[in-house]
Structure 1
């Protein structure tokens, strides 16, 4: 599994596709997928160039997107729009229940608010969504816009395990992209999932 903020594909899309393809993931939790003009075509092109298919999300989830390999069997998907705070960016979740090698798994991609109180509320909605998926095991990941000591991050890390994926540059700092100084992105898993790396 890979979680990736693609910044609305404003950067080198071919390089992005090469990175995703090299990681050979079964699932990609995307944040900031294209949401406007011809967004479906842009998502399909990224998926194809990465050797994957579009699973769920995009503009219908306000930016989060799920991509998957053909090894994934899809049970169901749902795009969730979160309550809108006037004057702030619309947020949502791309979710799915899938089977990989016989294991049934809930999956959620998110991009939480820049505003502290809204972000904390969204973290609570994320936990509620995972609990309502009807699966024993689930993973959630994305751009939290919060550091590990922040309230929203801690709210998620309470009932979930922080997978603390190691970034390719040798650390776990994720933001800003041109010289990471803090970690605002994370992948979480329900207890019972063994995180290998």
Structure 2
């Protein structure tokens, strides 16, 4: 059993360019290459390599599916059931993600940064990631962060305060931000 495990581990290492040995052919999943090494184990090794490839493909599909679900969830997530979320995080996850790419504001803020939280007037004013929230995030990201590449934290926070002092936002968050 140990030689099989060792061979399976070795088969996971890439071949060196120009290597046409039986070991390399076996690494690439060729049963005939494995057979040249040990004819008795060729079928077993080929089956094990095949199963490893299927497992890897399944892991990749799962990762792709998970990533696509997260993107969909963050872009148009339905309102959560039993929503009681009246706390609003000014630095949302999408804004924080963009901040991590910003030349001068990188590393200054965190997603859902506890320093930047305001309270909604009621449950209807803020429950989940509503349409108005996505629009504010898009404005902060597209209009401001991507066009103010040399902004300071103070300038960014002044802009955020101006957004939260607008009449429509004051109706949702009477204390502003």
**The two structures share one fold, judged by TM-score above 0.5:** no
Higher relative contact order structure (alpha carbons within 8 Å, sequence separation ≥ 6): 2
Question: Which protein is bigger by CA-based radius of gyration?
Answer: 2
Tell me which interval the TM-score lies in, with the shorter structure as reference length.
under 0.3
**Per residue, is there more strand in 1 or in 2?**
1
Report the structure, 1 or 2, having the larger helix content: 2
TM-score normalised by structure 2 residue count: 0.21
